Amino acid sequence: MARQVFRGGVHPPEHKEATSASAIQWAPVPARLVLPMSQHLGAPCVPTVAVGDRVARGQVIGSVDAMVSAPIHSPVAGTVTGISDTLTTGGARVAAVTIEPDAEQDLQGYVTVTADDERGRVRAAGIVGLGGATFPSVVKLTPPKDMHIEVVILNGCECEPFLTCDHRLMVEQPERVVAGARHIGRLVGAKRIVIAVESNKPDAVEALRAEAGSDVEVQVLPTRYPQGAEKQLIYALLGAEVPHGKLPAATGALVHNVATAAAIADALEYGKPLTERIVTVTGEVARPGNYRVVLGTLVSELIEIAGGFSGPVERVIAGGPMTGQALASLDVPVTKGTSGIVALAPGVAAPAISGDQPCIRCGRCTVGCPMGLEPYAIANYANRRMWDSAAARRPIDCIECGVCSYVCPTRRPLLQLIRLAKAAALAKGVS
């Protein structure tokens, strides 16, 4: 299979050395868990428990009938102590269930999920995209009838700086990743299964190839951000471009994250709901590493588990520094989409700027944009609230990788302005 080089992109400092060799370890269960009812794209859940209820590990505590949604399960055995709004890593306030865990926990036991078919079991397990997108996985496993899936691609690139949670999963539990890949391929009737890994993870490539048979390919791709973005990954592996306004399935390809695939294997083989995830905690912390964390653990607790801050910290990011969110508070919970907590020392990130800066027309954002957009133009129109002119430059095609903001010499908030233009275009029904 010929490999292609996608247009644009950058190669920022990787900052992975502190955790790339750190084995996954369980984070202790804290004294309080806060479980937001919206941990996914789509309709938020409604609490199915009341204050004072006893809950078992794996029991559904939030659900909704909408197709594009995913139920929430209790990560522990314990008691519901509150139902109220909470702040999330994205800055929104949503309904949440607070649970006080029992002193003794069996983190190997859980209430198993059941359903009439395998896709139903994936939905019942609450599985969403664990690479950060949090799109309900069952929707991807049910492509439109006019789109036949020929190739399943697992994204093991993990191109974001600092993050190594997927890397360690592939090294330590390649059998779960490969099993999930096979389940996905079978469910969608794909003829080929490919696991894509960037070249800076040779140990993950070796582990996966030792587990994969002739039915699963492990392809090594150049290390370049955003190699793991869905459209760029499809182009790199298949040489196919996703048409404007179409789903990636229009190319005959279906992309899932490696951690998502492992969770799908757990759901189909053991009936296990999604109640914990691996989180990279790194940067200015005393014990950087990869922690298996029960959902609902507060970021402040997780930083303490990692030994606390080891030096001055300018900002803490949920996710990676290219696409993640700077946190306004550390008292926000880890959710299904929290791939990392990164504590940045002063000077590591570009300093915050008050207000907008002038565009110097250098063109770096256009050269770097992997989608072939003109970020400076979209941002200029968005800054002037000229939404129709901004929409004409296709902000909807933006994958929000952050390359434009990264390369901008005047540090304009290009991505934030493009997000405003995208929201305005979607509100007007522009496609």
Spans of all domains in the chain: 28-111+273-344, 132-270, 364-427
> Residue 317 has what pLDDT?
96
276-283 and 340-344: which strand pairing?
Answer: parallel
pLDDT of 316-368, one tens digit each?
999 999 999 999 999 999 999 999 999 999 888 766 565 667 899 999 999 99
Q: Answer yes or no: is pLDDT of 299 > 60.
A: yes
> Residue 350 has what pLDDT?
66
The β-bridge partners of 155 are: 196, 257
Q: Answer yes or no: is pLDDT of 2 > 60.
A: no
Q: Answer yes or no: is pLDDT of 5 > 90.
A: no
Q: Once rounded to an integer, what is the mean pLDDT over residues 215-219?
A: 97
CATH 3.40.50.11540 is held by the domain 132-270: yes
> Residue 355 has what pLDDT?
60
pLDDT of 88-106, one tens digit each?
998 889 999 999 999 999 9
> Residue 21 has what pLDDT?
96
CA gap 267, 381 in Å, rounded: 46
Lowest mean per-residue pLDDT among 33-37, 204-208, 276-280, 358-362: 358-362
Q: What is the CATH number of domain 28-111+273-344?
A: 3.10.20.600
> Residue 353 has what pLDDT?
61
CA gap 254, 271 in Å, rounded: 23
Q: Answer yes or no: is pLDDT of 249 > 80.
A: yes
Q: Once rounded to an integer, what is the mean pLDDT over residues 205-209?
A: 98
CA gap 377, 418 in Å, rounded: 9
pLDDT of 380-393, one tens digit each?
999 999 999 999 99
